[in-house]
Homo-oligomer: A and B are copies of this chain.
């Protein structure tokens, strides 16, 4: 089975300035999004890439590719108004009966280990979702009060999330809910069992500008 990587980078990054969307922010002089591509290319040079961008970003991205002489082949797809719609748009360009990793473009630190393990596991079980333990106490807001949860049983969910393409494509095509925050939830909603595996806590999702400097030393 061919292996596809669907990188979703259509988000507006509301905590970043409009001039600098977080996926285009520079780390060691190179856009975050290119670091994400490179992480996959280093793990395996034969991946097929599909990149989802919002319409307003496409020209900027093409300019950046020229400027940085970024030659990794990828298909650019225009995204929708939400992450779920963007993933759905991207999946339309992934063939059936393949394996696909769906990845957030703002996670430039994904490791070779996670990529290899994820594809391997998804080939067997249909899905592979990286998850890490939570080091802090967690509470759930219930109206005006809150209750303590047992953090031992909780996991933070990361990307890339790996799937049999036919299964995740079908799950997305039947999706009616709009409140899911990741692909595993869509897959599960379609009646499939989600397989978790140990993620990597360095695989940070860039959400806040101050994280850029924090992770600079991790990306060498």
Contacts and interface: CB of A to CB of B under 8 A. Distances in A.
Interface of A: 129, 131, 134-142, 145-146, 148-151, 153-158, 179-182, 184-185, 188, 193-194, 196, 201-202, 205, 207-208, 210, 213-215, 217-218
A138 B153 CA distance: 10
A136 B158 contact: yes
A194 B138 CA distance: 13
A21 B195 CA distance: 35
B215 A137 contact: no
A155 B182 contact: no
B155 A185 contact: no
A210 B204 CA distance: 13
Given A146-B194, A210-B218, A153 B137 contact: no
A58 B185 CA distance: 49
B151 A138 contact: no
Nearest to A207: B135
A184 B148 CA distance: 8
